[in-house]
Every structure is written in structure tokens, then in C-alpha cells.
Structure 1
Amino acid sequence: MSLKSKLMDDLKLAMKEKNQVKKSVVTLIRSAVKQYEVDNRAELDDEGILDIVYKQMKQRKDALEEFEKAGREDLINQTQSEIEVLKTYLPVQLSEEEVEKIVIETINEVNASSMKEMGKVMSAIMPKVKGKADGKIVNELVKKHLQ
């Protein structure tokens, strides 16, 4: 089943169950997909849809930080619920230990030894962990091992 049809099925289910959070999140994803397809006159595959889901996830995480700073419990709970729904569409995430192993292997592959080579290391790592690890975690681990 393609991700696009899964989104449609999930939207129908959320409407039947009267699950407002899931309905709004799925609707936002579907509208972003539709907007991209109309703007670019191209059909999105599952990978393209995943990119949209990642963008939505990043927006929610950034908003969550701001809501926590402002102490807005109502918005914090809402955003955390939305993040949980978004996670159901993402591939299984790597653990921090698995990411650290990939970071160490990649640093050895590119023979990096200083912070000056961080860009080279990051550009080699990101294709390996795309969609399976948070970029912030990867960035922190690369910094840790290059210092």
C-alpha cells in the first residue's frame, strides 16, 4: 500500500472515530502533498511524501520548544499528540547507539580528524541515516567525535 493511499485510509478512519488530532494532521499532510503536486506538476512517490512528513515533524518540534518556553501546557499537549500521529508515518528510528556507530564508521571512512571537516562528515552521514535519525542528534555526535 502506498503512503498516499494509507493517508486516505487513515483520514477516513479518523473521521469515523472522530479523532480530531489525527484528522487534522493527516489533512495537513495530504494538502501539502497536493500543493506540491500542483506547483510542480508531478506525482509524489512515497519518498517525496516522507519528506513532507519530516518537514511537518520538524515544524512541530520547533513549535514545541517555543510552547515549552512560554509555558503553554494546552499547546504543548496538542503538539505532542500531533507529533505522535506524524511518527506513525515515519520509518523506524535508529537508536542513539546505532547512530553513534555510523558516525564513527563514517569519520574513519572520510579520514576526518578536526571540526574543520564536519561538513564533509555530515554530507557523508546524512544519506545513510536519512529518515532514520534526527539531524540534531547526528550533528551533536559528529561534534563529540571530532573534538
Structure 2
Amino acid sequence: MSELKQQITTEMKAAMRAKDKERLGTIRMMLAELKRIEVDERIELDDARVLATLDKMSKQRRDSISQYEAADRPDLADVERREMEVIKTFLPQPLTVEEISNLIDQAITASGAQSMQDMGKVMGIVKPQIQGRADVGETSKLVKQRLTS
């Protein structure tokens, strides 16, 4: 079992003991999604894949929050926010804009990127380094700015 998945399972037990129903529900949802992937693909998830899955779940919550706020449903947006906060506790520390910029600069140098046509090469290098630590869409915008200037 991956180290991260083991940590999530341990936290589930702690939430059970503390009778924290809200946190427990979110953790169970996370474990159910990880188990679904393992069963569907007949694999054992490693930490990188668990991290990618949690990152995806966090992004889904962000999207839901914006949709609920647009529909004037703050009650549902608050539920999504609480779920997202629990998910974030298992994600690594977010990168700063400066750290992301440094990673982009290194990737551009390493790939020899000259123009927008090389964006795929740069993102291929950067994406695994930022997984779960920064928004890929925002990073993509920064790469695009660097390659067009």
C-alpha cells in the first residue's frame, strides 16, 4: 500500500475515534475513489497516482464551489469548501509563484524551448514536478507567457 494511502487510512481511524463525522465522510469518499480506481484498472496505486487523484478531487471541489456560488447556493458551496480543506491536508505544501517560475525556467532551459510550439515539451517536464502542489492551468498560462515574450 502506498504511504499516502496508508496515511489516509490512519486519519480515517483517528476521525472515527474523535467522532468527527464530517472529516470521516470526506476521508471515506477519498478512499472510495482510490479503491474504485484500483478495482477498475486492476492496479495498486502508488503515491504519485494517489496524489494525482487527490489533486483532481480538489479541483472538482473548486469547480463545484464556483458553480454553487453562481447559482446562489452558499450552503452547498460551504460543504464543498469543507471537503476541499480535508483533501488539502493530504496534499503537499503548495508551491509559491517564485518556485513555479524557477521550475518553468529550468524546464525551458532543459528542453531548449524557443516558441509556443515547444510548450508541450516544457509542460511535460513541469507537470510531474507541480502535481498536487500547483494548479496546472495557471502554470500553463505562465509557460505560455514566457514562451511568447
- Class of the TM-score when normalised by the shorter of the 2 chains: 0.7 to 0.9
Amino acid at match of 1:49: V
Partner secondary structure for residue 65 of structure 1: helix
CA distance in 2, matches of 1:117, 1:2: 35
- Counterpart-to-counterpart distance in 1, 2:110 and 2:43: 37
- Shift in CA distance, 34/97, structure 1 to aligned 2, threshold 3 Å: same
Q: CA deviation at 1:114?
A: 2.4
Match of 1:143 in 2: 144
**Structure 2 SS opposite 1:71:** coil
Aligned match of 1:52: 53
Summarize deviations over 1:49-93 as a string: whole Å, max 9, x none: 222212211211111221222222112211111111111111122
Q: Which ranges in structure 1 are unaligned for 5 or more consecutive residues? A: none
Matches within 5 A, 1:51-70: 51-70=52-71
Segments of 4+ moved more than 6 angstroms: none
> What TM-score do you get using the length of structure 2 for normalisation?
0.85
| Mapped pair 1:22 → 2:23 | yes
The number of residue pairs the alignment matches comes to 147
Deviation at 1:30, TM superposition (A): 0.9
Query: Quick one: distance in 1 between partners of 2:5 and 2:128?
Result: 23
Cα distance in 1 between the residues matched to 2:65 and 2:142 = 23
Change (3 A) 1:83 1:30: same
| Consecutive unaligned residues in structure 2, runs of 5 or more | none
User: What corresponds to 1:91 in structure 2?
Assistant: 92
Partner of 1:117: 118
- Tell me the amino acid that sits aligned with residue 72 of structure 1: R
Partners of 1:138 and 1:42 in 2: CA distance: 30
Is the 2:92–2:133 contact (alpha carbons within 8 Å) kept by the matching residues of 1?
Answer: yes
